Structure 1
Amino acid sequence: MAKFDLSFFYNKRNLYILGFLLAFVVTFMEVSRGRHLNFLAFADSTIDFWRGVSPYTPEFVSSHMRFFLYTPVFSVLFTPFAVLPAWLGPFVWNLLNYTMFFAAVFTLPARFTHDQKCRIFLYTLPILAQSLLSFQYNIPVAYIFLFSYSLLERNKGFWAVLLIMVSGLTKIYGIFSLALLVCYPRFWRNAGYVVLTGGVLFLLPALKLPLSGLIPYYGEWLNALAVHQSDQTYESLFYAQPLAEWLLPNFRVLQIGSLAVLALLFLVSRRKWDTAAFRAQALGILMGWVVLFSDSSEKHTYIIALAGFMLWYWSRPVRTRTDKALFWGNFVLLGLVPIDLICPVPVMRCITQTLWLHVWFFCFTWLRMVWLTFFCPVAEFPDSSAAGAETADSSRPAQPGDTLDIVCPCYNPNADFISHLACSLAELRGFYPDKRLHLIVANDGSSRNFGKEEHDQLLRTIPDAEIVDIPHGGKGAAIRAGLARSQAPFAIYTDIDMPYAKESMRQVIDRVFDGCDVVIAVRNASYHSKLPPMRKLMSHGSRMLNRFFLNTRYTDTQGGLKGLSPAARNVMRRTRIPDFLFDTEFIMLAERSKGLRIEEVETTLREGVVMSKMSGDVLVRELKNFFRIAFGV
């Protein structure tokens, strides 16, 4: 029997489409049956707010069969959804929240590998579907936790604080992540952002209410929070049998006490604050606490807790059998058991309402998270298995006699390209008399200046050269074909006319020989001064798009000269873009692969080089490729 191909589930686009279809079907099922009651409560409370009617009244509870527990700020922010047609608003709400949660997972810092992000998404997908089924606000709370963490890791303090304050001033869960600000640089600047954004958001309901009415309105919300516990039995620790009779009456003391203990443990662990793994694990613990110790958690609220557990789990250097048992146990009890299509209702009720296994199991998980994070040494992020596979053929410094492969893609070259290529290669070989520089020319289906005559002439001029002929597929395809032939421990690729100054090429080769995995040629001002207007526009535009959309530290990805170790060549094999932006795809993949050493070298063009022009059609094609990268890497 053929082995099931799991690669489908490690493709970002496939996962997004799979989840999107699930979100759409779930939304359609509930809307068509009129069971989108939470959304209707959100919409009606928002309309009531703009009409000057309070949603925190017994009348609202009676008519909607639920308390409205969100702040006036929520009513203002929910307005765009409330004013949409009744059939459209629920779809926009659910599909937008699904998309944002997906984006939050896949924009986690690069310390989490691509495969780990795919696993995080798949792990949380069942409980995400449950939250979508209920049109809940827990999904935004979960993705705001993830987004704010990623922004803080990237030193985007203002945006992280803004998201935290939006979460905290709509549903209080998110406000607790402000504690992590002490782990990051510029604490006082971020504290100022808290005051600024918090003040603006707090006053946001003044768009409708008089300033004198703000405090009483917030008071009505606090009163609703104080009395809603009598509404139903919730799924937090305080309701778990057989201890609920003691836990529930003392829930406020236990909330404050547990938070105080966490704060103390966090403070005494200050030496770990600079450790990225500790910050991820501390956030995971906090996300578990806001659910486990809440007085109004529901089953789908655990999407917040499970997302935090994933941060904790995948940042651990060693995942023991106990950790793996907790991994699968929580997935089954919190992800699968509540779905009646998977678990028969009598069994589900026994597990969740009689035995309360799901709450006690996660409680044990959370306590283990606390113990290992605060009482045991915290190591940095481990290499994933995927990254380990990529770096198995690790780079090393060069030794006398080592070979460097120089891959040159070629498409309709100049008529005299062979003599120039031979001269440039001879100059480079002169720099490294104790090494072997081997030329690989990848002919990209040239229709002129590279027929049989040029083949023979090239091999006569450079006898040890190797020629790879492929159908015309683009520069990226040619580079991959040439590197596939490379057997040397070191390699670079550059254009067939070797346009870079020899000293620049020597700097790149030196870095490769020193054991660097990826060496990126960064083009200086003199390089850009020689570019035609369209290519100059593309160059600067590419760097801007890389910075703002791909959030990469290596923005100059399009220089046609790079050095690669065997591990980096394994990454190159994963690229798919056929044209010029294969470079960007490669750098994005390399940056997200653990264990690769990446360096930049400033380079310049040699004298007399004239850069070719590029048409508008190429610009349009490369823009399409860019968005393929943005959604695919």
Structure 2
Amino acid sequence: MNQIKAQLFLEKLFNNRKFIFSVWVILAIVATLKQLRSGTEHNNYLIFTHTFYHALDHLNLYLRYPAEYGDMNHYGPLFALIIAPFTLFPKFVGMFLWQIVNISALFYAVSTLPLKNPKITAVYWIISNELLSSLFSFQINPSITAIIILSYTMINKRNNFFAAFLIFLGTYIKLYGIVGLAFFFFVKEKPKFIAYCVFWAIVFLILPMLFFSPEYIIQCYKDWSVSLAAKQLENATLVSWQDVSIMGIFRRTLQDPTIPNWPFLLGGVILFCLPYLRIKQYQSETFRLMYLASTLIFTVVFSNSSESQTYIIAFTGVAIWFMIQDRPVKPEVFALFIFSILFTTLALTDFIPRYIRDNYIMRYSLKALPCALIWFYLSYQLLCKNFLNREEPAQTETLSL
């Protein structure tokens, strides 16, 4: 009897969203303290805050400033305003608040998915380890994930004004946000949505000019484009920490940094877009959620700017994809999911022996492989499966495998 009570208590606890959010806050505290004590591992946060200071001084936002931080800034000029409030606090407080904003954005975004509570909580737990990886690097990727998800859910709720706001907010921060336009075909009142997109594109273009100067911000956009072009070339080198992508797997396996991105991107975009031809399937919530999962994964595995910490975006797509599969889950679906757990989210942890991590997973960008395979399988489902006349995700109560 006591065992049954304990089991029921644990089940209730692990499905409690307040408890899950508390765990995420603990992860944020642990990551912040560890990186602050290391003295160098919070470099990304230093880049972010100095972006604001450099903007105040009208300095080039995309040069190296080795006396202040390592690496370079690659976010848009608008980001200088986004990070500005955090510079008002002492470093540790600002770092912690930055982490809290990121986890809160992602937590809220996942809660808006049209899934029943057990599946929502499952998504939270599935992505927790990838979230921790992102928290260690202080990157904005959890919020970018949230922006993509919310772009979908706002369109789903016909809140086109806010959807357009999110899409262009994300775009002007880190380009990845533009993938929210993948949900355009699911939009009701498309002319209004297009008008909202134009409106927010202009607002976010002009907004930084009000705080700095039009001439300076225009130059920043030019510098940003040059910086991103240079970064693409740098990422393709065989020693970069980035290029954790499909292209990276080929470049590093064949030891040929000259292999171009465009054949992969062309093929990927064609395969990504083909399911749009199945117009009748738009009626299905599951079909649309599959497109959300596809978008989240595609954004990462077809970008040679992707690094390990970017995979919070892709793995959230994997979690959504797995939770909307028919039950019982097909063996190949379950096998792909377990493969992704082992060699994506656990790829760079102590669960995998260091020799394998260093000489195979990192060396050949193999963290991208499970997500890539899932994306191809997901694309097959979008192309071939009939999603109509089946139980929709929001109607499903159990998580039986």
TM-score, normalised to structure 1, is: 0.57
After superposition, residues 306-385 of structure 1 pair within 5 angstroms as 306-318=315-327, 319-340=329-350, 342-354=351-363, 356-379=365-388, 380=390, 381-382=392-393, 383-385=395-397
Corresponding residue to 2:189 among 172, 186, 189: 186
Distance in 2 of aligned mates of 1:343 and 1:317: 31
Distance apart, 1:361 and its partner CA: 2.2
Runs of 4+ that moved beyond 4 A: 1-4, 241-248
Distance in 2 of aligned mates of 1:355 and 1:339: 16
8 Å Cα contact 2:155-2:183 kept in structure 1: no
Distance in 1 of aligned mates of 2:122 and 2:149: 15
Distance apart, 1:66 and its partner CA: 1.3
After superposition, residues 101-500 of structure 1 pair within 5 angstroms as 101-109=106-114, 112-229=115-232, 230=234, 232-234=240-242, 235-241=244-250, 243=253, 245=255, 249-263=259-273, 265-318=274-327, 319-340=329-350, 342-354=351-363, 356-379=365-388, 380=390, 381-382=392-393, 383-386=395-398
Matched, 1:28 2:33: yes
CA gap of 1:222–1:355, structure 2 versus 1, over 3 A, is closer
Residue segments in structure 2 that go unaligned for 5+ positions in a row: none
8 Å Cα contact 1:46-1:79 kept in structure 2: yes
8 Å Cα contact 2:275-2:382 kept in structure 1: no
Distance apart, 1:239 and its partner CA: 1.5
CA gap of 1:135–1:97, structure 2 versus 1, over 3 A, is same
Distance apart, 1:314 and its partner CA: 2.0
Distance in 1 of aligned mates of 2:267 and 2:67: 35
Distance in 1 of aligned mates of 2:158 and 2:147: 16
Larger Rg: 1
Aligned-pair identity in percent equals 23
SS in 1 for 2:152: helix
Distance apart, 1:298 and its partner CA: 0.8
8 Å Cα contact 2:271-2:379 kept in structure 1: no
8 Å Cα contact 1:288-1:309 kept in structure 2: yes
Distance apart, 1:93 and its partner CA: 0.1
What amino acid maps onto 1:332 in structure 2? Answer: L
Distance in 2 of aligned mates of 1:60 and 1:18: 36
Distance apart, 1:172 and its partner CA: 0.8
8 Å Cα contact 2:344-2:370 kept in structure 1: no
Structure with a larger share of its residues in helix: 2
8 Å Cα contact 1:206-1:214 kept in structure 2: yes
Distance apart, 1:2 and its partner CA: 4.2
Matched, 1:16 2:21: yes
Who is 1:51 aligned against?
A: 57
SS in 1 for 2:352: coil
Distance apart, 1:282 and its partner CA: 0.8
Distance in 2 of aligned mates of 1:116 and 1:384: 9
SS in 2 for 1:258: helix
8 Å Cα contact 1:67-1:224 kept in structure 2: no
Distance in 2 of aligned mates of 1:179 and 1:355: 30
Distance in 2 of aligned mates of 1:254 and 1:337: 24
Structure with a larger share of its residues in strand: 1
8 Å Cα contact 1:23-1:94 kept in structure 2: yes
Distance in 1 of aligned mates of 2:31 and 2:214: 41
8 Å Cα contact 2:118-2:397 kept in structure 1: no
8 Å Cα contact 2:182-2:295 kept in structure 1: no
Distance in 1 of aligned mates of 2:276 and 2:17: 38
Distance in 2 of aligned mates of 1:177 and 1:246: 33
Question: 203-212 vs 179-188, which deviates more?
Answer: 203-212
What amino acid maps onto 2:344 in structure 1? Answer: L
Distance apart, 1:82 and its partner CA: 2.4
Who is 2:89 aligned against?
A: 84
8 Å Cα contact 1:330-1:361 kept in structure 2: yes
Distance in 2 of aligned mates of 1:213 and 1:43: 18
TM-score, normalised to structure 2, is: 0.89
SS in 2 for 1:185: coil
Distance in 1 of aligned mates of 2:314 and 2:384: 21
What amino acid maps onto 2:201 in structure 1? Answer: G
CA gap of 1:247–1:189, structure 2 versus 1, over 3 A, is farther
Distance apart, 1:277 and its partner CA: 1.1
CA gap of 1:206–1:224, structure 2 versus 1, over 3 A, is same
Distance in 2 of aligned mates of 1:246 and 1:32: 39
CA gap of 1:184–1:247, structure 2 versus 1, over 3 A, is farther
CA gap of 1:186–1:60, structure 2 versus 1, over 3 A, is same
Distance in 2 of aligned mates of 1:225 and 1:313: 33
Deviations 1:322-362 (A, max 9, x none): 1111112212222223223x434323224412454432222
Deviations 1:50-107 (A, max 9, x none): 11111212x3368532121110011122111123222211000001211221121122
CA gap of 1:344–1:387, structure 2 versus 1, over 3 A, is closer
Deviations 1:568-619 (A, max 9, x none): xxxxxxxxxxxxxxxxxxxxxxxxxxxxxxxxxxxxxxxxxxxxxxxxxxxx
Distance apart, 1:256 and its partner CA: 4.0
SS in 2 for 1:144: helix
Q: Which structure has the higher relative contact order (CA within 8 Å, separation 6+)?
A: 2
Distance apart, 1:313 and its partner CA: 2.3
What amino acid maps onto 1:216 in structure 2? Answer: Q
Distance in 1 of aligned mates of 2:67 and 2:297: 32
Distance apart, 1:24 and its partner CA: 1.1
8 Å Cα contact 1:238-1:247 kept in structure 2: no
CA gap of 1:191–1:266, structure 2 versus 1, over 3 A, is farther
